[in-house]
Structure 1
Amino acid sequence: KRRRHENKVSRPFEFLVEDIFNVPGVGPVVSGFVNAGELTVGSTANVYVGPTDDGTFMKTLAKSAHIARINTQHITSGQSACLAFSLNKELRKKLRRGMVVLRENPTSTREFDAEICVLKGEGTTIRRSYQAYVHILNVRQSAYARQIEIVNHNSMGLPPSHNAEFEEDGIVLRPGSRAKVRFEFAKRPEYIRPGMRMLFRDGRVRGVGIITNVPKEVAVAV
């Protein structure tokens, strides 16, 4: 795993927010994981934190960083760390788990395409408007299946599906089915990108997939 993250140092900085704190005398602090890239904190470390509930990103300054309670000026891919931001009281209220910290190109979206495989769910069928709870790295949110398409070649390297069926009201997926699905988040936009792996669940249903396309909506920084 360490070698894999060493190969991601050259990518754009991407920090996954896992928890939020308000430290007296310091201000808002987030803990999380450096998924890609590197960052040197200080007076020139301008970053974008988001997306908020309306899909925008907050431009702020990464004042300082800690790793295992030790102050550091530099964090890199593969490390768990804490970052302190310079945010006013109104913007602090918008911080939440599941956000990301980026250096450039902040975008968010409500929709994404993924090639999925239904692993289990006896007695359950998946069709258009199906709702499930989706996990994508640190993102956790309900999402609707807006479109379903059977594909013969997929990004997961799996053989074509033989368990998906066509019915009068559209395509129906059952355990073992593989398909391309357009999902829409139920509550708010999120930051995701092609190549991320996902897991979805609903009762006894379990499935996995990989994101293949994201129709991005450029978010305005505030």
Structure 2
Amino acid sequence: MLEPREVPLLHGGAGTSGTSAGANPSGNKTGAGALAAPASSSSSPAATLVAQEFLLRRRCPPAALFEFRVAMCGNVDSGKSTLTSVLTRGCCDDGRGLARAFVFKHKQEVMTGRTSSVSENHLGFSAEGGVVNYALLQPHRTEAELRPLAPAEVALHLATSSAAGSAGTTGAHVTRQYTAKELATHSSKVVTLYDLAGHERYLKTTVLGMTRNMPDYACIVISANNGIQRMTKEHLALCLALKLPFFIVVTRIDATPPNVHDETLSNIHKLLKIPTVRKLPYPIRRRDEVILAAKNLRHDRIAPIFEVSNVTGVGIPEVLQFLNLLPIRKDWRQARTMAKEMIIDSTFFVTGVGTVVGGIVTQGVFRVNETVLLGPDGFGNFRPVIIKSIHVKGVDSSAAEAGKDAALCLKKEKRSAIRKGNVLVDAAQSPRSFWQFEAEIVILYHSTTITANYEPVIHSATVRQSARITYVAQEVLRTGDRSLARFHFLYRPEYMKEGQRVIFREGRTKGIGTVTKVMCDPDELVLAKNKLRKKLQEKLHTPGGPKRAA
């Protein structure tokens, strides 16, 4: 009767009743009394199996709200940034790139129209399922007038902004700003959308965003007029390698001829049915299909397909309802009882506060004034640091538990001494860093063969570094082969665990694997060769260096 997640769907019928742990039935407009319906009297006994479905979501403080992450993937110019902006701001695009400017982070992104970094955007839902972002963006509003838009009202809201955009006005986009604290205060569930780069030049940034940010789901955006491209397949392969459930959003349906639109959908269905993917295409055409797709996506057997237009707003309400109904994929309760661990994915300095590190808490609970270990440094060592303060979604908090995206202020630490990929771990533990690891790998694609001394780039939870293959169980590896291989990092030891999934690439993705063994001691011969090669490269690039003979 109850879904085994924090956001349950309850089925109400004759003689049925129930509530979730911590749920507030009085907060549901339908009322908990509607969960029970009397059976009709007849000569033979009868019972109503399912009468209605109810979503019960507890009202909770900002530090305890539900949170999951979605990676926005897809080829360049497919509309990922525009879709992210339309979902989080509730204003339709003008067809000339107005909406995507609100999610870009750098000047070159605005000039080229292409995302080159990982952009983090938040979408908040109230306990009743309304979109909190649209209420916070209303101009000239007061706190008493704040009312999240219900799913049925989103279509009218988008139609109004679309009409304003087609009339040549920008009034629909002249809205007030809101802070992360405001969004967390008025939300019961927050969906973090990671807008990733689609160009092949920034594939390493995309892989980093999909490994280090630990998304729960992936959204693969495909342009209806461009169809499936090479980078679309590349991102799909990454989702399969990381075992991420994904759904597909087809954009620009308003500007695509019918024959091209039908061909794109046909190609999507064919791609999902190939043996290496094996997903059931599930086109979304009705509201009840949205509910079924949201309930079954986490089982990783179906691939819901949405068709939207960022200019007219068609299909956007269905995507919002889908994100609202998606359950929390990972149960963090057991992880909260384990030793502390946090992955650092960003560092910055706040004047008057100090050095702040941001990231995802993967294990345990971090508290203010606790001493934890920070590392590894270039030599693989960890040093003690003190947590000065903690913010969760912009709200000051006394603790940050596993599953939360938090920012920790560290006392008397220089930002230059901390790098992305460092971790914070429990001081009671004795963490170690490793130069080598063994993994069971699968070659996804390679034009030739892979042997010992091959040097790909390793991507994992905290790792992005070149490594050399020093041992392969088979003599040579080709596309589709499986084997045991040993990797040796070239520059510094890294923090890794057995069972951790790794991706290795050289340009395009080459293969995936699972760590089976980690080793602390380096191979001095590998380090000596790498050091000698670096010296030769420095001499060649130094003015007045060795010249070639005529």
Alignment of 1:124-163 (within 5 A): 124-150=448-474
Residue 38 (1) aligns with residue 362 (2): no
Match of 1:97 in 2: 420
Greater fraction helix: 2
User: Partners in 1 of 2:382 and 2:368 — Cα distance?
Assistant: 19
* Superposition TM-score, scaled by structure 1 size: 0.82
Deviation at 1:6, TM superposition (A): 2.4
Cα distance in 1 between the residues matched to 2:508 and 2:417:
33
2:501 alignment partner in structure 1: 197
Distance 1:33 1:23 in 2: 20
1:77 aligns with 2:402: yes
2:482 to 173, 178, 186: 178
Give 1:207's aligned residue. Answer: 511
In the alignment, the residues of structure 1 paired with residue 413 and residue 397 of structure 2 have an alpha-carbon distance, to the nearest angstrom, of 24
Between Structure 1 and Structure 2, how many residues are aligned? Answer: 192
Amino acid at match of 1:215: M
Matching of residue 216 in structure 1 with residue 520 in structure 2: yes
Q: Give the match for residue 339 of structure 2.
A: 12
The question of 1:116 aligning with 2:441 is answered yes
Report the equivalent of 1:62: 387
Tell me, in whole angstroms, the C-alpha distance in 1 between the residues paired with 2:503 and 2:442. 10
Distance 2:483 2:402 in 1: 33
Distance between the aligned counterparts of 2:503 and 2:365, measured in 1? 27
Write the deviation string for residues 68-103 of structure 1: whole angstroms up to 9, x where unpaired: 1111111111110001111344xx422000010001
- Aligned to 2:497, the other structure's residue is in SS state coil
Identity %: 35
Aligned partners of 1:116, 1:109: CA distance in 2, in Å? 19
Alpha-carbon distance change, 126 to 7 in structure 1, aligned in 2, over 3 angstroms: same
Aligned mates of 1:9, 1:213 — CA distance in 2? 25
1:32-88 deviation digits (Å, cap 9, x = unpaired): 00111212222xx11111101111112110111101111111111111000111134
Conserved in 2, the CA contact under 8 Å of 1:124 and 1:205?
Answer: no
Across the aligned residues of Structure 1 and Structure 2, the Cα RMSD in angstroms comes to: 1.5
Judge conservation of contact 1:49–1:99 (CA < 8 Å) in 2.
yes
Structure 2 gaps of 5+ residues are 1-215, 217-327, 522-550
* CA deviation map 1:142-166 (0-9, x unaligned): 111011115xxxxxxxxxxxxxxxx
CA distance in 1, matches of 2:411, 2:508: 44
Match of 1:25 in 2: 352
CA distance in 2, matches of 1:11, 1:197: 20
TM-score, normalised relative to structure 2: 0.34
Structure 1, unaligned runs of 5 or more: 151-170, 218-222
How far residue 120 of structure 1 moved from its aligned partner, in angstroms, is 1.1
Partner Cα distance (2:448, 2:357) in 1: 39
Q: Are 2:467 and 2:490, in contact at CA under 8 Å, matched by a contact in 1? A: yes
Q: Greater strand share, 1 or 2? A: 1
Contact (CA 8 Å) 2:503, 2:511: kept in 1 or not? yes
The answer to whether the Cα contact below 8 Å between 2:386 and 2:411 also exists between their aligned partners in 1 is yes
One-letter code of the match for 2:368? V
Contact map agreement 1:32 1:80 (CA 8 A) in 2: yes
Contact 2:503–2:509 at 8 Å: present in 1 too?
no
Kept in 2, the 8 Å contact 1:115–1:178? The answer is yes
